[in-house]
Chain A
Amino acid sequence: MKTLILGVGNPILTDDSVGICVANEIEKFSLPNVEVIETSLAGISLLDYVVEYERLIIIDSIKTEKEIPGTLYKLKLEDIGTSSATSYSHGMNIRTAIELGRKLGYKIPEIIEIYAIEIEDNTTFGEECTPAVKRKIPGIVDEITKIIKSDSAPS
């Protein structure tokens, strides 16, 4: 299955970069049929990347302040709020972008998975994640890689 992994975040805003860090680590495994892109864009701009893939995996940070930093959530597109009622950067979230893409007849991945990592600090400039998030990265990389491999295995 032609798969795209999107690592989303800002590379110089401490924990905001965690999605990119995790995606880059997964890229090192050179998984077959898997392409990895890091991006600081969101919403509509993501449409430019995702067309023509069968499966899309988004790895991003999240700040619920309800769980400890480094907690991994597996979300579905439906878990992301409806279009106008969100504050996603650049005004439109990925769900709306996907809905728009489908409506306009683009070939949008049928399988979309979102992995979100609870973070601590995304308002301080820095090129590294906070220690609490950083030490969870290897485990998160393993977990997501295993899921990708098992789902991709021929049945």
Chain B
Amino acid sequence: MAKRITIDPITRLEGHGKIEIFLNNKGNVEKAFLQVPELRGFEKFSEGRMAEEMPRITPKICGVCPTTHHMASGKALDDLFHVTPPSPAKKIRELINSAFMAEDHTLHFFFLGGPDFVVGPQAPAGERNILGVIQKVGLDAGKKVIDIRKRLRNIITKQGGRVIHPVCNLPGGVSKGVTKEDREEYIQTGKDAVEFSKFALKAFEDIVLKNKEYVDVIVGDIYKHSTYYMGLVDENNKVNFYDGDIRVVDPEGMEFAKFKSREYLNHIAEHVEPWSYIKFPFLKGVGWKGFVDGKDSGVYRVAPLARLNASDGMATPLAQVEYEKMYDILGGKPAHNTLAYHWARLVELLYAAERLLELAQDEEILDPNVRNIPTAVPDEGIGVVEAPRGTLYHHYKTDGNGVLTDVNLIVATVNNAASICMSIEKAAKGLIKEGKVSEGLLNMVEMAFRAYDPCLACATHSLPGHMPLEVSIRDHEANIIETIRRQ
């Protein structure tokens, strides 16, 4: 008798998803995968509009990472209109993006992924949340988190021109420069963000790294996948969130490809499965071999750990020290441990804070020359940035008047879609034996998922707030034979 276990909805995630776990007649896991609701009609919604609208529309796709959509869209418009922004404009964009990355990584560590470790993977579900974290790290720490996030958001609001959905990016630059007064504030926020990042790394060290049980979980085999890794790098192959080339390393850490945004379609293709609305991107140069690990499989990963694996280091000094420390403890590069995404996220938090401070301290940021007016006829443009959840691609085509004829986006999480399914399946296989399923075990399965900080269909905001987590175990005729409900 085959059983099906459904984890629906997944808790503490960006958006709504459902994990399906199928058991065989012995009660062991046969297959597990992720399903997400489909959002329909974005291309149709966009086509026929003026391309300049895209930086204002695309951030609304997602209530979680609007800023990075705004950045990718702004860069796609530069390319579309064949115009290069002046250096101060580029720095202002990167400043805003750095503030966003720092803010979002903070949120994930303390609110979404952190509770698994800070409170403990086996702790009761009701305690595995931010209130549980505060209980453990103290009220003052909670205030620090709220305060730094608010101040980082303030930079985005001031420079972005609007709360939540920024509107500052225009083809060829940004709509406003930085005032002297605001710059002083940004410098102070940058300094405090660096200190905050150190505090977060220290908390991770004290609570997680000094706990052998947690370290064993991180380096354990059930959370390990040997894949390719992708991320943006600068001219020295250091991690960059805003600009650079896209670099891919193989499972042994050797450079497999390095390419410009415009070449992405030569390197990435998408595989389709009948059971999912998500298309699964893979490396064309390797080919799709299924949901499997290894050098012969075109599955690649993005986001914090992938970015660090795909680079030769961090471009700022303190983050570089933490980068080296992480790989020392994990046993070298590349690290294939999915749960180390949490750690890599904190290294990136420090980098984002240091980079924010560097940019705020740069005199050029006050230069009022923040836009080059485009004069060329628009045709096609591609913009690529690093979102908190991975490499984000925006690709637009227009007619000669700038009216959109074709839109293609590869959103960050989608790059990780195949590996997320693989991670869930491996964790489920390792943890669920002979039909024995407890809430603690299910949380351990979900942890594989949460490490990626996935953002799926996160554009919807309807209230399912009272919906508890339900796990249904079904027989082969889909009859529910057992329901586990989390309180």
Contact = CB atoms under 8 A, between A and B. Distances in A.
Contacts of A16: 459-462
Interface string B132-147: 0010000100110010
Given A47-B146, A89-B14, A89-B460, A12 B38 contact: no
Given A39-B164, A42-B63, A79 B466 contact: yes
B458 interface: yes
A104 B466 contact: no
Nearest to B103: A45
Contact of B111 (A9, A11, A62, A91): A91
Contacts of A39: 163-164
Given A85-B126, A126-B45, A90 B462 contact: no
B100 to A, nearest CB: 12
B463 A12 contact: no
Given A89-B64, A104-B142, A122 B45 contact: no
A93 interface: yes
A123 B457 CA distance: 8
B115 to A, nearest CB: 8
B467 interface: yes
Interface string B270-283: 00000000000000
Interface string B462-480: 1111111100000000000
Given A48-B150, A89-B63, A91-B111, A84 B460 contact: no
Contacts of B126: 82-85
Interface string A95-122: 1100110011110000000101001001
A152 interface: no
Contacts of A83: 126, 129-131
Interface string B10-25: 1111111000000000
Interface residues of B, number: 59
Interface residues of A, number: 54
Interface string B206-235: 000000000000000000000000000000
B267 interface: no
B112 interface: yes
B468 A91 contact: no
Given A13-B39, A122-B462, A86 B467 contact: yes
Given A41-B63, A100-B142, A87 B10 contact: yes
Nearest to A47: B146
Nearest to B123: A84
A91 B467 contact: no
A96 B129 contact: yes
B411 to A, nearest CB: 14
Contact of B460 (A41, A96, A103, A123): A123
Given A44-B130, A61-B462, A87-B11, A81 B467 contact: yes
24 contacts: A12-B459, A13-B459, A13-B460, A16-B459, A16-B461, A40-B63, A40-B66, A41-B164, A44-B107, A44-B146, A45-B153, A60-B461, A83-B126, A83-B131, A84-B129, A87-B15, A87-B464, A90-B64, A99-B131, A122-B462, A123-B40, A123-B457, A125-B39, A125-B42
Among all A-B residue pairs, the 3 with the closest Cβ atoms: A87-B9, A125-B45, A80-B465
